[in-house]
Amino acid sequence: MIEPVELPSPWRDARLTVVVPTYNEAGNLPVLVERLLSLPLPGLKVLVADDNSPDGTGEVADKLAIEHPDRVQVVHRAGKEGLGRAYVDGIGRALDGGAEYVAQMDADLSHPPEALPGMLGALLSTQASVVIGSRYVPGGELDENWPLYRRALSGWANLYVHTLLRVRIRDLTAGFKIWRADALRDIGLERVQSNGYSFQVEMHYLATKLGHTILEVPIRFEERRDGDSKMTTATKVESALMPFKLRTRHRNLER
C-alpha cells in the first residue's frame, strides 16, 4: 500500500466528492470507505450510488452514512441499470451538492484510494480538466494475479478504441480519475448515453472533442479482493459497438 501524499493548504481542503457505484460490494465497501476517510483530505466526501444490491450493500452503505453523517451519502437506485447510469446519477448529485472536484473509482479495491491526494495535486498544479489513474503509462502496474484473459481483453479494448476514435489516452477504459467540476458541466451529463463500462470511453471522447486537457498518472491496479466481476456479455457487446455510435452521435461536437 502506498503512502498518500500530504498536500499543502488550501489544496488539501478542496471539496472533493468520490462517487462509488456499487452492486454486490457489501464486503468491500466498508474497507474502501475507511481508507478514503483516513486520507489527509478533510474536504473529501463519499457518495455511494447503489443499484439495489441483493447482497445488502445498500444497508451497509446506510450504516456507514450514519457513522459518518457529514462525509458519506447514499443514493439508492431502483435496480441494476448499468455503471454508466449510476455514475451519471452520482456525479450529478455531487455537482449539485457543491463539489469542486469529483472522483470516480470502483468499489472492489482495485483502485488505490491512497493515490487520490497525489492525483488531486497533479490536477491542481496543472491546467488539466481530468487526471486519470492509468495502468498503461510508464510506472503503471497491473496486479500479477490479474487473469491473463482480462489483461488481453483490456489491451485489445484500448487498441480497438484508439484505432476507431483516435483519442490520445493510453488507458482509455480507465475508471479511476478526478474531474474538475466545471469540466463535467461543460461536457454535460445529459449527453452521456452509455450504460456499461463504455461510459469511461464516452466521457474521455467527449472531453477530447471539447478540447479539455487530460493527464494520466501511473497507478498500480489490484485484482478485486472480494465478490465477482460485473463484466457481462451484454456490456462487452455495448463496449464493442459504442465507438461507432460515438463517432456518429458526437460528430458535430466541438468547443
**CATH no. for residue 111?**
3.90.550.10
Mean pLDDT computed over every residue of the chain: 88
Whether 4 maps to a domain, the answer reads no
Phi, psi angle pair for 220, to nearest 5°: -100, 120
* Domain assignment of residue 60, given as a range: 11-223+231-249
Side chain identity at residue 24, one-letter code: N
Mean pLDDT of the region 44-49? 98
Mean pLDDT of the region 50-64? 97
If pLDDT is split at 50, 70 and 90, which confidence band does 188 have? very high
Residue among 239, 169, 248, 242 at smallest CA distance from 207 = 169
Bridge partners, residue 195, by sequence: none
Whether 3 maps to a domain, the answer reads no
Whether 1 maps to a domain, the answer reads no
Q: Of 59-68, 69-78, 195-204, where does mean pLDDT reach its minimum?
A: 195-204
Count: domains in the chain = 1
Q: Is the pLDDT of residue 98 over 90?
A: yes
Cell of 37: 476517510
Whether 182 maps to a domain, the answer reads yes
If pLDDT is split at 50, 70 and 90, which confidence band does 109 have? very high
Mean pLDDT of the region 108-125? 97
Share of the chain above pLDDT 70, in %: 86
